[in-house]
Amino acid sequence: MKSAMLHVALFPFMAKGHMIPLLQLVKLIHIHKPEAKFTIFTTPANEPFIVSSLTSLPPQLINFICLCFSPTSQIIAGVESTDQLPSMSLFTPFLYATETLQPQFETALRSLQEQVVPITCLISDGFLHWTVESASKFNIPRLSFNGMNNYSYVLYTIMVGGRLFSKVESEEELITVPGLPWVQVTRNHFDSPWNEQEPQGSIVDYTAKCLMATSNSYGLLVNSFDELESKYLDFWNLNFQPKAWCIGPLCLAHKPKLDDCDKPNWVDWLDKKWAERRKVLYVAFGTQAEISNEQLKEIMIGLENSRIDFLWALRIKPNQEEIVVGLEERVQGRGLIMRGWVDQKMILEHEGIRGHLTHCGWNSTTESICASVPVLAMPMLAEQHLNAKMVVEELKVGLRVETCNGSTKGFVKSEELKRVIFEFMGKEHGEMVRENVEELSKVAKKSIQEGGSSWINLESLLTDLQMRK
């Protein structure tokens, strides 16, 4: 006889920004259902990171299944996550390469369904469109995980899905969003090729598959909370399928602990700054943005000339190393440069951090909000320009770095960066956005606690899935 115990299978997309929130969701589900079992699908190169991220959970509850990621004509052997790609021009070929995992995935599903505790549901990244077909073969409900917020996802669906840019010539012409008359966007708020009059290409074809797969899924999981964007959540659920469930902020399920034997060097540095009552700006632009040599130089000069203390989690291409030669010496004592992987949530939660200069990826944005750290938005790609718009205009928890020509997208000069950092870290504007983010942080924390909106949503969803069995 099959067990009614909850067994959740998860398949994250192979990118740090996509894996981390799904691993945080595992921890959150465990809080709700301590007896639940988990099966997590990944590839050999990603397994160590995933396993190490879940050491706080009882090992007998988690099963890891590695699927061999076969090289293709464009993706070489060993490259199994987007941060390993030599260029983001290979992002689309990488997406298509994930489709080769489907036969192995289905073989594993077949075996799992023959066990005493079969899979209750599959939670897979929206990019892994083919998993919905596989899940349906074994009568497993699939939940699509959306790394975007409701605001950006709704605007993309309305504007791109409705082909509303087809007759818009100017990239900066303001367009009122149908159904949301208080929102105006431009073509430049959207990434290429979606902002073109006739979007086409292999990425468009792939995304169409993803959207169709999501619409055929049991539900849509969103790393957000109802109170943050209720108007956009309601709009989605009234006009589109499947039902969206806000079950975040997922970063609050992760409670990092500092080991004195393995304490990062930035901890003492920030402790010292805090003791000196020095405000520190945290600077990070994510794992996927490719910053041009010219833009990197302007950012460096702007930070140097701002005279503000800063901690920079620096990720650059190998051929850009010569650009940053001498930077650490020039800012010694005032700036700290961190290389490699850092626990961003832990950094943001340090009391010495007073602002976050960020690309406005959604994970980074929610981590800032939850840590009560105001956002200085410098978006670069994907939906980040819409996230920045939301942060500044809707939530009022940050300021925007302006481009040199005033357009939504464009080049940022060092003088502008210096100016806005001074304004952002100062008393007048800085205190205003800080008060707003502190209030929003309280709501965010309440939402995932027992009785909060996200707690209720996740509890209801898990109960529905268990009853379905």
432 lies in a domain? no
| 194 and 272 housed in the same domain | no
| 215 and 293 housed in the same domain | no
| 264 and 310 housed in the same domain | yes
Q: pLDDT-derived band of residue 323, with 50, 70 and 90 as boundaries?
A: confident
Q: pLDDT-derived band of residue 1, with 50, 70 and 90 as boundaries?
A: very low
Q: What percent of the chain has pLDDT over 70?
A: 96
| 42 and 179 housed in the same domain | yes
89 lies in a domain? yes
314 lies in a domain? yes
DSSP-assigned states of every residue in 453-467: HHHHHHHHHHHHHHH
Q: pLDDT-derived band of residue 428, with 50, 70 and 90 as boundaries?
A: low
Q: Is the pLDDT of residue 263 over 80?
A: no
Q: What is the mean pLDDT of residues 248-255?
A: 87
Q: pLDDT-derived band of residue 466, with 50, 70 and 90 as boundaries?
A: confident
Contacts of 387 by beta carbon, 8 Å cutoff, 6+ apart: 149, 151, 152, 360, 361, 362, 365, 377, 379
173 lies in a domain? yes
441 lies in a domain? no
Q: Are strands 335-339 and 280-284 parallel, antiparallel or unpaired?
A: unpaired
| 285 and 148 housed in the same domain | no
Q: Is the pLDDT of residue 444 over 90?
A: yes
| 201 and 73 housed in the same domain | yes
pLDDT of res. 260: 55
pLDDT of res. 75: 84
pLDDT of res. 270: 92
| 100 and 236 housed in the same domain | yes
Q: Please tell me the distance from the alpha carbon of residue 38 to that of residue 23, in angstroms, as a whole number.
A: 11
pLDDT of res. 7: 95
Cis peptide before 249 (omega within 30 of 0): yes
Q: Is the pLDDT of residue 255 over 90?
A: no
For the chain, the domain total comes to 2
Which H or E run contains 249? none
Tell which residue, 149, 468, 417, has the closest CA to residue 305. Answer: 417
Q: Is the pLDDT of residue 254 over 80?
A: no
Q: pLDDT-derived band of residue 256, with 50, 70 and 90 as boundaries?
A: low
Q: Is the pLDDT of residue 406 over 80?
A: no
193: left (phi over 0), alpha (psi -120 to 50) or beta: alpha
407 lies in a domain? yes
Which H or E run contains 376? strand 375-377
| 395 and 311 housed in the same domain | yes
Q: What is the mean pLDDT of residues 285-297?
A: 84
| Contact yes or no for 419/306 (Cβ under 8 A) | no
Of 7-16, 338-347, 402-411, 422-431, the range with the lowest mean pLDDT is: 422-431
| 230 and 321 housed in the same domain | no
Summarised one tens digit per residue, pLDDT across range 113-165 is 888 689 999 999 999 999 999 999 999 999 999 889 999 999 999 999 889 99
SS3 category, 372: coil
Q: Largest Cα–Cα distance in the chain?
A: 69
Q: What is the mean pLDDT of residues 416-432?
A: 83
| 267 and 184 housed in the same domain | no
| 118 and 103 housed in the same domain | yes
Of 40-54, 179-193, 286-300, the range with the lowest mean pLDDT is: 286-300
Q: Is the pLDDT of residue 338 over 70?
A: yes
Q: For residue 325, give the DSSP letter.
A: T
Q: Is the pLDDT of residue 289 over 50?
A: yes
CATH of the domain at 205: 3.40.50.2000
Burial of 81 (0-12, 13-18, 19+ CB in 10 A): buried
Q: What is the mean pLDDT of residues 270-278?
A: 90
Summarised one tens digit per residue, pLDDT across range 303-317 is 999 889 999 998 877
| 226 and 273 housed in the same domain | no
Q: Is the pLDDT of residue 93 over 80?
A: yes
Q: What percent of the chain has pLDDT over 90?
A: 65
Q: Is the pLDDT of residue 3 over 60?
A: no
Domain range enclosing 280? 260-426
Query: What separation in angstroms does the CA of 270 have from each of 276, 281, 285?
Result: 10, 11, 20
| Contact yes or no for 11/124 (Cβ under 8 A) | yes
Report the chain's mean pLDDT, rounded to a whole number: 90
Q: What is the mean pLDDT of residues 354-366?
A: 94
Q: What is the mean pLDDT of residues 234-257?
A: 90
135 lies in a domain? yes
442 lies in a domain? no
